[in-house]
Amino acid sequence: MSLKKSLLLGGSLFAAAVVAGPVMAKTLVYCSEGSPEGFTPSLYTAGTTFDASSRQIYNKLVEFKPGTTEIVPALAESWEVSDDGKEYTFHLRKGVKFHTTKWFTPTRDFNADDVIFSFDRQDNKDNPYHNVSGGTYEYFNAMDMPDLIDSIEKVDDYTVKFKLTRPEAPMIANLAMGFASIQSAEYADAMLNSKETFDQKPVGTGPFQLVAYQKDALIRYKANPDYWRGKAPLDNLVFAITPDASVRYQKLAAGECHVMAYPNPADLEAMSKDPNITLLQQEGLNVGYLAYNTQQAPFDNPKVRKALNMAINKQAILDAVFQGVGQVAKNPIPPTMWSYNNEVVDDPYDPEAAKAALEAEGVTDLKMKIWAMPVQRPYNPNARRMAELLQADFAKVGVDVEIVTYEWGEYLKRSADEKRDGAVLLGWTGDNGDPDNFLAVLLSCDAVGGSNRAQWCNDEFNELVEKAKQVSDVDERTRLYEEAQVVFKREAPWATIAHSLVSEPISVRVENYKIDPLGGHYFYGVDLK
Amino acid sequence: MLRLIFKKLGLLVPTFIGVTLTSFFFIRLLPGDPILLLAGERGVSPERYNELMVQFGYDKPVWEQYLSYLGNLFQGDLGVSIVTKQPVLQEFMTLFPATVELSICAIIFAVVVGLPAGIIAAVKRGKTLDHTVMTTALVGYSMPIFWWGLLLIIFFSGILGWTPVSGRISLLYWIEPVTGFMLIDTLLADEPGAFASAVSHLILPTVVLGTIPLAVIARQTRSAMLEVLDEDYVRTARAKGLSNFRVIGIHALRNALIPVITIIGLQIGVLFAGAILTESIFSWPGIGKWMVDSIFRRDYPVVQGGLLMIAAIVMIVNLIVDLMYGLINPKIRHTE
């Protein structure tokens, strides 16, 4: 065929295919922001990886209800917790099929062996897969699983028992996270001679199964015909990997994709006016904050910290840095999270009162550093700009601010140091919707010198959070966390700045797509008009 | 000729070792730590940090790490990516054909347009055409690639709808990679329309990546041509009554080509640098973006391996260019 003929034919075929779209198999194209690190979720930590693996290909014992952080049964139909809070018994779902793919045909349904294998690989150094693909299991370690899990026992084919070394109320929420995805033990046994293949060619129980992957180009999935919740309305799902946000927007506008990840804040206004695009927005499960070093004078004095907090015009920051897309933060946890204490009253913006309070504490001519992160995050899209606004606010109360920054890895390392000089801009996006994932991770005594950037150890707060970890009654936990937030506000280790809104532009053809408050992208249940 | 090749090859050895040294040590001189970057805001406990240092081999003295890197290198092992846990060589081989395909198209575009433009400008020296060509070349040379790429996308893909926005081929097609070169693979796959789709996806990135080399080639061709057009042998050729086409196209151009070819050779390095941005804009699955990501994440094995492979390729291309001089101009062959 001549080039000209082939060009013409190609053009007409393409046009025909686009026009005839609805009668063909339903294929949804998602413009994602990057390549997944791999397909075994437990090996990695990036949201991009979980979007491509745990959220489409796999299931967990329990999962988040779409669009919420509510836990619902998944591969476990039900579970019981022992009275001492140290034994979790899961009753597994029957008749769940693993994917039949070009590389593997399962001969049995999902059962307890798969659960045991999925956790044993991460926990047990003698498991044949433990060291495969450079296994480091960062999430499993970060959630303290090696210390927490005493043993996992198979009671029968459809019952497993997790024995813990201590009561841990957030355990169920932890098991809904990507690292707890259940993989096939049968497939693992079959691949013992080529273990890397197990991680590159995934076999799960999830709504979509992998068809093909080309690094930095695309990922193709098809709907799992035997999915236990029922086959997905979509027939095919394609991730078109498109690293640049402006280009993703162009592709969405040109109809080359239906859903796009992470839009540029500057493009949101234009998107909201485009008749072919629906701009979905939801409060994200995040917080951006400024953490004082509470171990250093004068920031060891809560009254000084409170006074500085009163000098900050948070609304101005929200307008300038977040383009107004978010809300001012008063608590360390976002308002959509259970146990959020709305009774807490934020420190008012009052530079005069702030100045007077500083003087009353004998703080005059204060010079301090504010650290600005070198990266963009949903909880802080422009830390440099935020630092400049804080600098101007603090100047009004007579505080001289020097803005410093470091390379990101260095920033994280140095800001964690207890002897660090200055207040640090940072933030957090929740992993599992449990308040413990904010309050204990970011503010407990154990986290001082690590993720507790305020280096703040307050016995009253710490006891409340520790206690809440050990009771399983949600009402009791709510009460404890609400009280902890009151202590937090009184002591003011941080200036809480903002909770950002998550925006997701989708084509008007897309139906039933829900924004995930945890920042993931799920396509089960989504349909195309 | 053979002696020349061996001599040139011999010179490559110290350059190669120099590249291993710089790629290995420079990335380590940059502040930042791959393990901390992997952990992010979450952080990592000191015990776990030490465990990972041992696992990745970063607990050993740097010179020891370098020697073991060299040792592995001689066995053809470039190491394993810290981020994806995949062998570096395998990732490189998957992504490299896309970069080569785009670079070849860009350089062909640059030569096919740049060479005639330079010749015309030289022949029409001082005329409006000359000024137009040279001003356009200057603009092309100064164009920020990122802006230029987005501008073309918005105009040709967004407003006119003539070309696809990004990617290598329409999502309607699934072409099993055989050679990794989409143009060849689509022909091999014999799927109607696939080749055309691949061509249409190549147009904008080719233009964007080829713009700067095109400008350089046009300017270089013009000045080289101007030099030879004043030579005695050109005047003699004209005096003999040869046609204008023969004088310019054969007698003058052949001699003017030497510096132009040198420039084209040097542009290969420029193309790799340009590929970084072009690939990011057009979601082109090549090595440019892969390298940049690995630098940001301090993925040492990928940075080292990727740089080494790119340096080796640039060296080989320049060697070929050196040898081509001899083919074009026998005088060089004899003096060597």
Q: Report the 3 state secondary structure along B65-86.
A: HHHHHHHHHHCCCCCECCCCCC
Q: Which two tokens stand for residue A4?
A: 């000209």
Q: Are strands A87-92 and A159-164 parallel, antiparallel or unpaired?
A: antiparallel
Q: Are strands A236-241 and A218-223 parallel, antiparallel or unpaired?
A: antiparallel
- pLDDT bracket for residue B209 (50, 70, 90): very high
**H or E element in which residue A442 lies:** helix A436-443
> In chain B, what is the straight-line distance between the N-terminal and C-terminal CA atoms, in Å?
8
What pLDDT is attached to residue B253? 84
Instruction: Return the higher-pLDDT residue of A59 and B319.
Output: A59
- The full length of chain B comes to 336
What pLDDT is attached to residue A259? 97
CA B187 to CA B181: how far, in whole Å? 10
Cα dihedral A501→A507→A510→A512 (10° resolution): 10
Per DSSP, the three-state class of B124 is coil
Chain B contact for A451 (CB, 8 A cutoff): yes
What pLDDT is attached to residue A28? 96
Cα dihedral B95→B96→B99→B105 (10° resolution): -130
Report phi then psi at A175, rounded to 5: -75, -5
Taking a C-beta distance cutoff of 8 angstroms, is the pair B316, B100 a contact? no
CA A450 to CA A412: how far, in whole Å? 9
Most A CBs within 10 A among B283, B284, B293, hence the mutation to make, goes to B283
CB contact under 8 A, B32 and A29: no
Fold of A25-38+206-276+508-528: D-Maltodextrin-Binding Protein; domain 2 (3.40.190)
CB contact under 8 A, B196 and A214: no
Report phi then psi at A31, rounded to 5: -80, 100
Question: Domain spanning B91-297 has what CATH number?
Answer: 1.10.3720.10
**H or E element in which residue A477 lies:** helix A474-491
Closest to B198 measured CA to CA, from B177, B176, B168, B173: B168
- pLDDT bracket for residue B331 (50, 70, 90): low
Chain B contact for A250 (CB, 8 A cutoff): yes
Into which CATH architecture does domain A58-200 fall?
Alpha-Beta Complex (3.90)
Among the CATH numbers 3.10.105.10, 3.20.20.70, 3.40.50.1950, 3.40.50.2300, which is that of A286-502?
Answer: 3.10.105.10
Count the Cβ atoms, other than its own, within 10 Å of residue A473: 9
Report phi then psi at A42, rounded to 5: -65, -20
Spell out the residues 6+ positions from residue B170 whose beta carbon is closer than 8 angstroms to its own. Answer: A14, B164, B197, B201
Of the listed ranges A98-102, A497-501, B114-118, B252-256, the least confidently predicted one is: B252-256
In A301-366, the DSSP E strands lie at: 326-328
**Range B77-83 average pLDDT:** 88
What pLDDT is attached to residue A176? 95
**Range B291-295 average pLDDT:** 87
Chain B contact for A240 (CB, 8 A cutoff): yes
CA A145 to CA A134: how far, in whole Å? 19
CB contact under 8 A, A244 and B38: no
| String of DSSP letters for A6-53 | HHHHHHHHHHHHHHTGGGS--EEEEEESS--S-S-GGG---HHHHHHT
Taking a C-beta distance cutoff of 8 angstroms, is the pair A459, A446 a contact? no
* Minimum-distance CB partner of A9 among B196, B281, B286: B196
CA A245 to CA A249: how far, in whole Å? 6
Residue B274 predicted with pLDDT over 90: no
Chain B contact for A123 (CB, 8 A cutoff): no
Across A328-337, b (16+ Cβ under 10 Å) vs e yields bbbbbbbebb
Q: Report the 3 state secondary structure along A134-183.
A: HCCCHHHHHCCHHHHEEEEEEEECCEEEEEECCCCCCHHHHCCCHHHCCC
The per-residue pLDDT of chain B, averaged, comes to 86
Domains in chain A: boundaries:
25-38+206-276+508-528, 58-200, 286-502
The ipTM of this complex is: 0.79
Chain B contact for A266 (CB, 8 A cutoff): no
Question: If contacts are CB pairs under 8 Å, which of residues 478-497 in chain A contact chain B?
Answer: none
Looking from the CA of A311 toward its CB, the CA atoms found within 13 Å total: 25
Residue B335 predicted with pLDDT over 80: no
Closest to A212 measured CA to CA, from B83, B174, B274, B218: B174
- Over its length of 529 residues, how does chain A's per-residue pLDDT go in tens digits? 443 444 334 433 433 344 334 446 899 999 999 899 899 999 888 889 999 999 999 999 999 998 888 899 999 999 999 999 999 999 999 999 999 999 999 999 999 999 999 999 999 989 999 988 877 788 888 888 999 999 999 999 999 999 999 999 999 999 999 999 999 999 999 999 999 899 999 999 999 999 999 988 999 999 999 999 999 999 999 999 998 888 999 999 999 999 999 898 888 889 999 999 999 998 889 999 999 999 998 999 999 999 999 999 999 999 999 888 899 999 999 998 999 999 999 999 999 999 999 999 999 899 999 999 988 888 998 999 999 999 999 999 999 999 999 888 788 888 989 999 989 999 999 988 999 999 999 999 988 988 899 999 999 999 999 999 988 889 999 999 999 999 999 999 999 999 998 899 999 999 999 999 888 999 999 999 8
Spell out the residues 6+ positions from residue B302 whose beta carbon is closer than 8 angstroms to its own. Answer: B81, B82, B83, B88, B91, B290, B291, B294
